[in-house]
Amino acid sequence: MKGVSWEEGYLKEEPRRLSANAEYFIPLKKCEEAFRRYKEELDKVKQGVENGVISWAGGFYSGLMPIRVMEGEEYQLSVVPKEESEEWCAIDIHVVSQLKVERGEAERVAEEVFEGEYGARRHWGKELGRVTKGGLKRKFGKKLEDFLRVREELDPQGVFLNNWFARVLSISH
C-alpha cells in the first residue's frame, strides 16, 4: 500500500467494520498529559506504520482520535460530573477491522493509560457489550441507586425501559 492514499487504498477495499470504539472522559487539566502518555505507550506496541496507519494483528488503527472539550454536567449518570471537574476532554478511539478480532492493542493501551493511570471515565453507551450493573455501581455509586429509585417511581410499568437497560440493570418489565 506504499504511496496509496487512504481513500484510494482503504476505502475502496472490502468494507471494514468498526471493531472497537471507545470514548474516554478526562478532566481537561489532565488531557494533554494523558494523550501524550497514550501515544508513548502506543508507540511501544505498534508493529508497523504505512501511510499513517498503525497496523496490528486483527485490524488497523487510523491514528485519528477526535478530541473535544465540554463543560461538566450535573446530570445523575453523567460521565463528566461537574463536582469533579468544571471542564472535561473526551478522547475517542476507533479501531477498524475486517477480521473477527474485537479488541486490539490500541484499546488495551487506552484502558491501561486512560482508566488505569488517569482514572478516566469511559462512555458507557459505547461499550454496550461490556456494561454490567456491578460496573455501573462502581462507576456511579449512590447516583445509580437514586436513578433506579426515580426511574421506578416515574415509570413503574417500564414503558420507557428498553431491553438493554432492563437486562443490564436487572429490571423486569
> Which class for 55: exposed (0-12), middle (13-18), buried (19 or more C-beta within 10 A)?
middle
Phi, psi of 24 (to 5 degrees): -115, 130
* Domains defined for the chain, CATH in brackets: 6-128 (3.30.70.2520), 131-173 (no CATH)
List pLDDT tens digits, range 118-154.
Answer: 989 888 777 656 778 888 888 888 999 999 999 999 9
Q: For residue 115, give the 3-state DSSP assignment.
A: helix
Which whole-number Å values give the CA distances from 78 to 140, 154, 158, in the listed order?
Answer: 9, 19, 22
Report the pLDDT value the prediction gives residue 153, as an integer from 0 to 100: 96
Report the pLDDT value the prediction gives residue 6, as an integer from 0 to 100: 40
Confidence of residue 54 (pLDDT cuts 50, 70, 90): very low
Please name which of 19, 23, 20 lies closest in space to residue 115, comparing C-alpha atoms. Answer: 23
Query: In this structure, what C-alpha cell is assigned to residue 145?
Result: 441507586
Overall pTM surpassing 0.85 (yes/no)? no
Q: Regarding predicted confidence, which is higher, 115 or 59?
A: 115
